[in-house]
């Protein structure tokens, strides 16, 4: 039987519509959520991401501020901007788009963001909160993955979940969220001995390695839910970490690229921004 195609675009649109109603209610109480985004340098991908974030804000009714800085910007100037946003009571969420130019230490910038405004959920305080199941802001891509699984009624509790990739922004936090949802979780990486033997045990397989079509049909358990976090720009266009054409013949459910996990990241960012505004207002 052909796999269910998990439509991240549709789920993202549903969440944004839910948030739009919530924001309208907040505005009637005098609360206007506001997201500030810093874009440093000329990374073409980043420009597209930031534009998508601005469009999502406009759709939902979130005020957005964008500060575009040249690639030559100093670390001190980025830190000064972040500090001014930390102090600004009208700003609820702060996002410094990654990657940053080489002269800027990303970790220092992250540490400078007020953790109560860290809507990416990347500040070490929020990473720790996620670890102990006390998140205010869950990291957006991992929480988007959990949301997709839930909205497609894919049973997480008791499942065998295998995460391929151990990055700080996807692999590790999604493994932790799956664990909080009572999956039995395994994290695989480049040193894993027999990767295919591990992935074939997965009821839920998360591919977050950054290698085009790395996960092939023979690595998938029949009926498994396959979540592809890959966003690889190849000569043939955008492509995931999963060989979609082959995998969809084996999987029970699968996310496409584009239109799977990608749109969920922005929806979760919008949710975190609304959450930040509510928390700041004591709601």
Positions marked active-site: 53, 97, 120
**Residue 71 main-chain phi, psi, to 5 deg:** -60, -25
Element (H, E) at 239: strand 237-239
| Least distance CB 120 / ligand GUN (angstroms) | 5
Binding residue for ligand GUN, selected from 115, 143, 255, 265, defined by CB under 6 A: 265
Told to check if 12 binds ligand GUN by CB under 6 A, we report no
Instruction: Report which of 55, 66, 69 is spatially closest to residue 100, judged by C-alpha positions.
Output: 69
- Whose structure tokens read 């591919």? 207
Q: Are the C-beta atoms of 244 and 228 separated by less than 8 Å?
A: yes
For ligand GUN, the closer of residues 154 and 209 by Cβ is 209
C-alpha–C-alpha distance, residues 117 and 120, integer Å: 9
| Least distance CB 28 / ligand GUN (angstroms) | 30
For ligand GUN, the closer of residues 240 and 252 by Cβ is 240
For ligand GUN, the closer of residues 162 and 169 by Cβ is 169
**String marking each residue 78-117 x if it binds ligand GUN according to CB under 6 A:** -----------------xxxx-------------------
| Least distance CB 7 / ligand GUN (angstroms) | 20
Q: Are the C-beta atoms of 30 and 1 separated by less than 8 Å?
A: no
| Binding to ligand GUN in span 14-73, by CB under 6 A | 49
| Least distance CB 85 / ligand GUN (angstroms) | 14
Size of the site for ligand GUN (CB under 6 A): 8
Angle at 143 between CA 169 and CA 211, to 5 degrees: 45
| Least distance CB 141 / ligand GUN (angstroms) | 7
- Whose structure tokens read 């998938």? 220
Told to check if 241 binds ligand GUN by CB under 6 A, we report no
For ligand GUN, the closer of residues 120 and 241 by Cβ is 120
- What's the Cα-to-Cα distance from 176 to each of 127, 139, 196, rounded to whole Å? 10, 11, 22
Told to check if 120 binds ligand GUN by CB under 6 A, we report yes
| Binding to ligand GUN in span 131-190, by CB under 6 A | 140
* Other CB atoms within 10 A of residue 38 CB: 21
In the chain, count H helices and then E strands.
10, 11
Q: How far apart are the first and last CA of the chain?
A: 47
Q: What does the binding site for ligand GUN look like in residue numbers (CB under 6 A)?
A: 49, 95-98, 120, 140, 265
């Amino acid at each position: 039987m052909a796999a269910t195609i998990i439509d991240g675009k549709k789920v993202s649109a549903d969440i944004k519509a839910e948030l739009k109603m919530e924001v309208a209610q907040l505005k009637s109480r005098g609360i206007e959520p506001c997201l500030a985004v810093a874009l440093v340098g000329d990374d073409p991908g980043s420009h597209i991401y930031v534009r998508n974030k601005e469009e999502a804000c406009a759709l939902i009714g979130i005020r957005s501020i964008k500060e575009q800085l040249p690639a030559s910007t100093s670390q001190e100037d980025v830190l000064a901007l972040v500090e001014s946003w930390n102090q600004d009571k009208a700003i609820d969420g702060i996002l410094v788009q990654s990657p940053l130019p080489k002269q800027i230490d990303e970790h220092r910038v992250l540490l400078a963001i007020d953790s109560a405004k860290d809507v990416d959920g990347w500040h070490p305080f929020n990473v720790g909160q996620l670890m102990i199941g006390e998140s205010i802001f869950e990291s957006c891509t991992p929480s988007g993955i959990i949301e997709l699984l839930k909205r497609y009624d894919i049973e997480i509790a008791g499942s065998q979940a295998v995460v391929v990739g151990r990055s700080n922004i996807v692999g590790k936090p999604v493994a932790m969220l799956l664990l909080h949802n009572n999956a039995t979780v395994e994290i695989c990486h480049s040193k894993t001995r027999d990767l295919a033997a591990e992935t074939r045990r997965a009821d839920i397989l998360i591919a977050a390695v950054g290698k085009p079509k790395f996960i092939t049909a023979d690595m998938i358990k029949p009926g498994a839910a396959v979540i592809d976090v890959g966003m690889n720009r190849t000569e043939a266009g955008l492509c995931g970490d999963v060989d979609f054409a082959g995998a969809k013949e084996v999987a029970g459910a699968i996310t496409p690229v584009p239109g799977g996990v990608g749109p969920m990241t922005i929806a979760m960012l919008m949710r975190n921004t609304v959450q930040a505004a509510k928390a700041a207002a004591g709601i």
